[in-house]
């Protein structure tokens, strides 16, 4: 038997919260049932787990689900999606209000507020979006045991202090389908961001790899030469200029942790009030008393990085029809943008 593992994704450093193992079958492989093949290839795999994965379409061969009796052949490309998460603690349902934009039997779209962590982890054992989703599902299905509440629903995430749309899957099949769409970069994600400085052009593309900072492990950084981190692509377009700051639209192809924040810092335009990446101080412009007080007032209005996940579009995992969602800018970003708009207009009128 001869196989080659093409790629194994580490979910710790990605907003796309799924793990995948990609195996390409090389020459010399005799026909073998895929369930037996995977049991031999995946450490700790049991017949029951493999069977469940195949039944839930978490195993794809040449981009299509198969039955357990499918026999692997040379040239086959097998993708196995895994719903494990590094912080696989028990999920405790908590009665936390949710702004649900859309829900059916397969998916939930939530408009996440600032300050809410997506999933429990070190330092955030509760009060998260997943705790709230667990409560929501428990009300729908009271017979569910806490140990049965799904965590596989996370296929991506957004930062604690980023607002906006996030999709969660309610079934394993929906999870696999959405995970593949993220994997193929076919999910439409558009963010609105207020960033420091003005731009020489009306748009562009940033392609530097994104990975953990070599010294400061809580931070991420851009590696232009690609020696570290993972490939990351952000397309941006200028929407409105306010002299000292600019409102931009960012469209993601990849979903690396802090991707927009890190990419914008890399090109010299950190997000407004991003305390991780240098946006919480005056980056550009003449510093004088009135200007400094104005900026401090803006920081007070929007006490986080000014980033909002405005649009989310994908193919519905069951109906196979395209669906698209939008959410309004939250009040704090609307207020700070309006304040900068008025300030910029008054400066232009004076000049």
As a whole number of Å, the end-to-end CA separation of the chain is 75
Write the DSSP symbol of residue 154: B
Active-site residue identified among 159, 274, 280, 332: 159
> Is 331 among the residues known to form the active site?
no
C-alpha of 244 from chain center = 29
What is the spatial distance between Cα 232 and Cα 185, in angstroms, rounded to a whole number? 11
Q: Is the dihedral of CA 186, 59, 82, 231 positive or negative?
A: negative
Going by their DSSP bridges, the two strands 245-252 and 209-212 should be labelled as unpaired
Alpha helices in 184-329 (DSSP H): 259-266, 289-301
The answer to whether 25 touches 74, Cβ cutoff 8 Å, is yes
Among 256, 307, 185, CA closest to 16? 256
Give the span between the Cα atoms of 175 and 197, in whole angstroms. Answer: 39
**Enzyme catalytic residues:** 159
């Amino acid at each position: 038997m001869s196989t080659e593992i093409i790629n194994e994704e580490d979910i710790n450093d990605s907003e796309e919260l799924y793990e995948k193992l990609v195996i390409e079958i090389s020459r010399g492989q005799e026909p073998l049932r895929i369930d037996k093949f995977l049991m031999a290839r995946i450490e700790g795999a049991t017949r029951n787990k493999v069977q469940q994965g195949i039944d839930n379409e978490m195993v794809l061969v040449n981009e299509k689900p198969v039955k357990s009796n499918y026999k692997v052949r040379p040239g086959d490309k097998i993708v196995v999606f895994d719903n494990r998460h590094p912080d696989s603690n028990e999920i405790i349902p908590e009665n936390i209000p949710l702004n649900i934009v859309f829900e059916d039997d397969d998916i939930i779209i939530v408009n996440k507020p600032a300050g809410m962590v997506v999933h429990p982890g070190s330092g955030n054992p509760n009060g998260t979006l997943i705790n709230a989703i667990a409560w929501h599902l428990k009300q729908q299905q009271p017979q569910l045991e806490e140990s049965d509440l799904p965590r596989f629903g996370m296929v991506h995430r957004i930062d604690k202090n980023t607002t906006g749309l996030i999709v969660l899957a309610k079934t394993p099949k929906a999870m696999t389908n959405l995970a593949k769409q993220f994997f193929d970069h076919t999910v439409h994600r558009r963010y609105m961001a207020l960033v420091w400085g003005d731009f020489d052009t009306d748009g562009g593309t940033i392609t530097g790899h994104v990975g953990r900072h070599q010294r400061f492990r809580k931070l991420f950084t851009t590696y232009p030469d690609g020696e570290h981190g993972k490939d990351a692509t952000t397309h941006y377009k200028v929407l409105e200029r306010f002299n000292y700051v600019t409102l931009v639209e960012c469209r993601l192809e990849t979903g690396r942790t802090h991707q927009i924040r890190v990419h914008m810092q890399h090109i010299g335009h950190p997000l407004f009030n991003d305390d991780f990446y240098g946006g919480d101080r005056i980056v550009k412009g003449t510093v004088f008393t009135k200007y400094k007080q104005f900026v401090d007032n803006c920081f007070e209005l929007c006490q986080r990085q000014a980033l909002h996940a405005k649009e989310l579009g994908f193919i519905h995992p069951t109906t196979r029809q395209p669906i698209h969602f939008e959410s309004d800018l939250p009040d704090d970003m609307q207020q700070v943008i309006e304040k900068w708009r008025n300030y910029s207009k008054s400066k232009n009128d004076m000049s």
